[in-house]
Amino acid sequence: MKMQRLHSLSALLAVLALAVLAGCDRHPLSGPKLTLEKYNQIRPGMSKAQAEQILGAPTSIDTKDMIIYKKTTYRYEDGKKFAVITFKNDELDSKDTNLGTQ
């Protein structure tokens, strides 16, 4: 009886661990989203939602309300790799990265 309960508990923990991993952007089943190929898909004029659809949620977001526009900077980090994407209002204005230099 105790062994059956232990097996049931182990199975439940395994299912919960997989569910947690499924919610992550970087895990063995889906791989990292910060790649040069995905970064190159990012184009000027894209919205924040479009950029997030390609690269996922940013590691950090910094928003500054300038007088004539709102500047938002998305920073993506994966170890030593990074990408910085800047939006004016909701439109992609510039991007920078060190992907492909390593």
pTM over 0.75: no
For residue range 28-52, list pLDDT tens digits in order: 334 458 999 999 999 999 999 999 9
Please compute, for residue 41, the number of CA atoms within 13 A of its CA located in the half-sphere on the CB side. 13
- As a whole number of angstroms, the distance between CA 94 and CA 46 comes to 10
Tens digit of pLDDT for each residue in 64-102? 999 999 999 999 999 999 999 999 999 999 999 999 886
What CATH architecture applies to the domain 32-102?
Answer: 2-Layer Sandwich (3.30)
